[in-house]
Amino acid sequence: MIVDYHMHLRGQLEGGSEPLRHSLDTMQRFVERALELGVDEIAFTEHAYYFTQTREIWTLPYQLDRCTFDLDVYCEVIGRAKDRGLPVKLGLEVDYVDGRQERLAELLDGYPWDLLLGSIHWLGDLSVDESADAENGVWQRLGVEEIWRAYFDALAEFAVGGLVDVLAHPDLVKIFDIRPGRNIEEELYASAAATIGRSGVAVEVSTAGLRKPVSELYPDPYFLAACAREGVPVTLASDAHQPDLVGEDYEAALKLLRATGISDVAVFTARDRRLEALPS
Which residues sit at the interface with Zn ion, rule CB under 5 A? 93, 119, 239
Q: Give the Cα-Cα-Cα angle 120, 126, 132 (nearest 5 degrees).
A: 90
Closer CB to Zn ion, 93 or 216, in the complex: 93
**Phi-psi label, residue 231: left if phi above 0, alpha if psi -120 to 50, beta otherwise:** left
Nearest CA among 97, 143, 105 for reference residue 121: 97
Cα distance between residue 258 and residue 59, in whole Å: 42
By C-beta, is 143 or 244 nearer to Zn ion? 244
Which residue number has the CB closest to Zn ion?
A: 119
Rank residues 69 and 184 by Cβ distance to Zn ion and give the closer one. 69
DSSP calls for 144-183: HHHHHHHHHHHHHHHHHH-S-SEESSTTGGGTT---S-HH
To 10 degrees, the CA torsion angle through 205, 207, 210, 213?
-70
Query: What is the C-alpha separation between 7 and 110, in angstroms, rounded?
Result: 22
Residue 79 beta carbon to Zn ion: minimum distance, rounded to whole angstroms: 21
Closest CB 280 distance from Zn ion, rounded Å: 29
- Shortest Cβ 21–Zn ion spacing (Å): 16
Q: Which is nearer to Zn ion, 242 or 264 (CB)?
A: 242
CB of 106 to Zn ion, least distance (A): 22
d(CA 87, CA 7): 14
| Residue with smaller CB distance to Zn ion, 92 or 193 | 92
Q: How far is the CB of 8 from Zn ion (least distance, A)?
A: 6
